[in-house]
Every structure is written in C-alpha cells, then in structure tokens.
Amino acid sequence: MSDLPESERSRLSAFGEPRVSRVLASHPDPDGTLKLEIGLFDGQSVECVMLTDYEGRKTACLSTQVGCPMACAFCKTGTLGFSRNLSRAEIVEQLYHLKTQGQQASNVVFMGMGEPLLNLEELRAAIAVIHHPDGLNISLRKITISTCGLCKGIRDLADSGPLVRLAVSLTTADPELRRRLMPVAASNPLPELKKALLYYQEKTQDRITLEAAIMGNANSRPEDVKAMVDFCRGLKAQVNLIPWNPVPELPFSEPKRGQIEDFERALTDAGLTVTRRMRRGRGVSGACGQLGSVKPRSGEPAPEEDD
C-alpha cells in the first residue's frame, strides 16, 4: 500500500500479514454448475462449486482442507494427500468469491475438498459467520457437514455444535468392503459409527443423510442392500445415491444403465427412504468426488485422529 506513509505501513504490518485468497480460474459448466479454483496466500489452491437445482436453488459446496488425508479409494481429492487445513477466513471467502461471480448461495454443504470434522475449530468459526445475521444469514438447517464417518468428530459436533445437518459418506455398510474403499473404517467401525449417529440424532431429532457413491463394479450387490438396510434400522436416515463420477486414474466404473434404479428399488422395497443425486458439474470435473484437478504444493503429515 504505497499510498500510505511509511509509519502507517509499518504500524499495519505489525498487525500481521494479509492472507487473502483470490479466484484463479472460473469453470462454468453448461448444466449451470460453476466451479472456482481459489488461490491461497501460500500458493496452494482449493476448489469450490455452486450447484443450481431444477428449482433454481443454489447450493455452495465448499472445501475445508487443501487435499485430504482420508484417502477414500473412489475420490479424486483422496489421491492428492493432505497439505493443510483451511483457515476460517479461507472457508468463508469461498462463498464471497462465488458471490462476486453472481452466485449467491441459499444452502451450503461442506462436501468439497477435505474432511470437515478434522478442521472443526476453523469450521465452527466459519459457520458462525455464515449463519450470523450480519454475515451471510444462512440458517443452520440449510448448512450440511458431510463426513466420511469420524465418530469422535460427530460426537464433538453433537456436544458443542453447531447442530447443522449431518451427512455421512457411507458408501456401503458391508464392513469388509467399506474397509477396502475407505481407510477411515479401520478405526471407525460401523457399529461405532451407528452409535455416534444415534447420539447426534438424539440431539437434533433430525434426519441424517447417508451418501453412497455407486460404482458399477463395487457396491451395489445384493449384500450391499442387505447391509444398508441393517445399518439403517433404528436410524432416522435418508439414503442418497450418487452415480459415481469418473476419475480416470481410479479403478472403478460408472454404474451401468438401470443399476442405480435397481439398487434404489431394492432399498425402497425394504422400507428405506432413498433419493438420487442430480448429475451436475461433470463437464468441469466439479461433480462429487472429482475435485482436485490442481495438486496441493507439498505434503505435510496428516492430522492425527485420536479416536
């Protein structure tokens, strides 16, 4: 700020350094989705996405970490490794960047890059701004945190809030397959996960969303139906089926024609509430599981989850 006198500049620099993020690239998809690549003060970058549904409602999908340490086998971000947590400002700024592109969010989901519950302190502070009437004034019921299933984080959220909507990437309730697809399952087995979800549900009395990215060659077998039905018993849950979005370097296939429909029918026949995720943002690699075309700069050790 060369227009300020030297004395003012040194006084300002004593407060700290400006750590402002900026839009590096904007990727609009013809289906109405907008993906932004955001550059951070240290040269790293993350992505965020604005999705528009058939009724014109806009949902911002935000990132909470640069990369992700959870290494889910079906997710592009999981191949990047973990670089660092985003600060509260970097989380909120994603929304402001979307707004400057004419995209005002009415709903917010933390389903972008990273595992939100591993960055809970910063996430809490960011949600406080997003929710505050002088901030973005978005109701907690319109904010969703999506986790890969960290029991300790779910309980912490239940105890100390904010009591937002909760979604879990269940993927499958077959314990062995889940361990193969999601390393988190080794230290957070399904019975513990279910207890944590019941605990959260006791506090919120709200329905929990169980997400399952359906791959053609992995998790829509009859045993997955049975396991899912067993897992949901006693939970107020809605299963959200997502046709797996292709990531060239991963060894999975998209579901075949009719496969998701058959799986959905089997779950519905067993009494579960099932919804299907719209296919959005694939043209710009901005769909679920595809974020991270830009690599984080350097790998740091993943944060410990002392469960």
Q: Which is nearer to ligand SF4, 81 or 255 (CB)?
A: 81
Residue 88 sits at the vertex; the CA angle it makes with 97 and 96, to the nearest 5 degrees, is 15
Residue 147 CB, nearest approach to ligand SF4 (Å):
7
**Who's near 41: CB < 8 A, 6+ residues apart?**
17, 18, 19, 20, 21
End-to-end CA distance of the chain: 47
- Using CB under 6 A as the binding rule, whether residue 95 contacts ligand SF4 is answered as no
- Using CB under 6 A as the binding rule, whether residue 148 contacts ligand SF4 is answered as yes
Residue 212 CB, nearest approach to ligand SF4 (Å):
12
Q: Determine which residue in the list 21, 44, 59, 77 makes contact with ligand SF4, applying CB under 6 A.
A: 77
Active-site annotation holds for 202: no
Residues that bind ligand SF4 (rule: CB under 6 A) add up to a total of: 12
Query: What is the Cα–Cα distance from 259 to 289, expressed in whole angstroms?
Result: 19
Query: What is the Cα–Cα distance from 34 to 294, expressed in whole angstroms?
Result: 16
- Using CB under 6 A as the binding rule, whether residue 78 contacts ligand SF4 is answered as yes
Q: Which is nearer to ligand SF4, 108 or 266 (CB)?
A: 108
- Using CB under 6 A as the binding rule, whether residue 115 contacts ligand SF4 is answered as yes
Active-site annotation holds for 288: yes
Query: What is the Cα–Cα distance from 97 to 109, expressed in whole angstroms?
Result: 16
Question: What distances in angstroms separate CA 280 from CA 52, 57, 113, one per listed residue?
Answer: 9, 13, 17
Q: Determine which residue in the list 46, 75, 105, 227 makes contact with ligand SF4, applying CB under 6 A.
A: 75
Q: Which is nearer to ligand SF4, 76 or 131 (CB)?
A: 76
- Using CB under 6 A as the binding rule, whether residue 72 contacts ligand SF4 is answered as yes
**Identified catalytic residue from 72, 288, 304, 305:** 288
Smallest CA-to-CA distance from 90 within 128, 118, 122 is with 122
* Options 50-58, 111-119, 232-240, 256-264: segment touching ligand SF4 (CB under 6 A): 111-119
Which tokens sit at 67?
């990369």
Q: Which is nearer to ligand SF4, 231 or 244 (CB)?
A: 244
Q: Which residue is nearest to ligand SF4 (CB)?
A: 78
Smallest CA-to-CA distance from 182 within 197, 193, 195 is with 193
Smallest CA-to-CA distance from 288 within 302, 304, 277 is with 277
- Using CB under 6 A as the binding rule, whether residue 294 contacts ligand SF4 is answered as no
Which is it for the CA torsion 119, 120, 126, 127, positive or negative? positive
Question: What distances in angstroms separate CA 31 from CA 35, 51, 54, 173, 278, one per listed residue?
Answer: 12, 9, 10, 32, 11
**Identified catalytic residue from 47, 90, 115, 264:** 47
Residue 2 CB, nearest approach to ligand SF4 (Å):
41
Q: Determine which residue in the list 169, 172, 240, 285 makes contact with ligand SF4, applying CB under 6 A.
A: 169
Query: What is the Cα–Cα distance from 138 to 125, expressed in whole angstroms?
Result: 14
DSSP 3-state of 23: strand
Q: Determine which residue in the list 68, 95, 247, 272 makes contact with ligand SF4, applying CB under 6 A.
A: 68
- Using CB under 6 A as the binding rule, whether residue 70 contacts ligand SF4 is answered as yes
Which residues are at the interface with ligand SF4 (CB under 6 A)? 68, 70-72, 75, 77-78, 113-115, 148, 169
| Catalytic residue set | 47, 288
